[in-house]
Amino acid sequence: MKIIKSTSVLIENLDQLENISLIPTMGNLHEGHLSLIKEAKKLSENIVFTIFINPIQFNSKHDLENYPRTLQQDINLLKEIGVTILFIPSVNDIFPVKPNLSYKMPIISNELCGKTRIDHFKGVITVIDRLFKLIQPSYAIFGKKDYQQLYLIKRFVFDSKLPIKIIEAPTIRNIDKLALSSRNNLLKTKDINLAVELYKKLNICAESVLNGVKIHDAELIAKKELVKEGWEIDYLEVRSQENLKKPSYNDSKLVVLGAGFLAKVRLIDNIEFCIPTTI
């Protein structure tokens, strides 16, 4: 594994590689990230893995400063599992000048997570645009836990007509079904058991809809249950898998997405489900 820290050295090394699979991350690696490498290995032997804590996708300085950083541990893990290049750029390397995204973000980027995290997705797409231009991968792999992010990256690739195939990797969960996330490391031990309640309440919502409860009522039931468990809810909503809009009468492929805070730590999760008939 080559560890590369500057864009100029990266460009020299990319010259020798074809058919690249790119895995962009912000580090603090866990099984979820390692599962992305497994997906990448099915597609190509040339894997470029990036660790870059992107400052322009954070909404608060506090959140950026507190993002878990475990670089040496991450490097050791990646050496063991084996990727071709580990790219760890500095902020100046990625954004030598103030970034200016020409792509117009879809309206849906201001809903769900985007409603409270203003410009978060613009920050994500800006860094992804930069990494795609720099690395020109054939494939890029992202986890489904960040469902809205994944949707917006797919839209960006489609709208911009980029020759990159976006690969969706399933959410990896621990034995209790808690979705793995770097932010779980910020939870106090007493809150870790409560974290899985988000997944459980999303399930209750999906099952209620499947049992014929109206979507709005199912969302309310699940939200009330989550609040009882000590969660502060950002949103919990059923949307269409296809476009993330509120479901219309003929949408049968749905996803329930939720975000909330446990002792000031923001966690997200989602569950896809299908209803057999129209709503």
- Enumerate binding residues for ligand PAF (CB under 6 A): 24-26, 54, 57, 124, 127, 146, 149
33 a catalytic residue: yes
Residues near 38 by beta carbon (within 8 Å), at least 6 away in sequence: none
Give the residue with the Cβ less far from ligand PAF, 33 or 223: 33
Shortest CB 227 distance to ligand PAF, Å: 27
Cα 254 to Cα 202: distance, rounded to the nearest angstrom: 12
Query: What is the CB neighbour count within 10 angstroms for residue 120?
Result: 20
Residues near 65 by beta carbon (within 8 Å), at least 6 away in sequence: none
Give the residue with the Cβ less far from ligand PAF, 146 or 251: 146
Q: In what order do the strands lie in the sheet with 265-274?
A: 232-240, 253-262, 265-274
Give the residue with the Cβ less far from ligand PAF, 44 or 149: 149
3-class secondary-structure state, position 143: strand
Q: Please pick, among 33, 62, 120, 216, the residue that the annotation labels catalytic.
A: 33
3-class secondary-structure state, position 65: helix
Give the residue with the Cβ less far from ligand PAF, 58 or 273: 58
Shortest CB 156 distance to ligand PAF, Å: 11
Cα 38 to Cα 26: distance, rounded to the nearest angstrom: 18
Shortest CB 218 distance to ligand PAF, Å: 28
Shortest CB 252 distance to ligand PAF, Å: 28
Locate tokens 């939200």: which residue?
A: 223
Backbone CA torsion sign across 158, 236, 35, 128? positive
Which residues form the catalytic set?
33
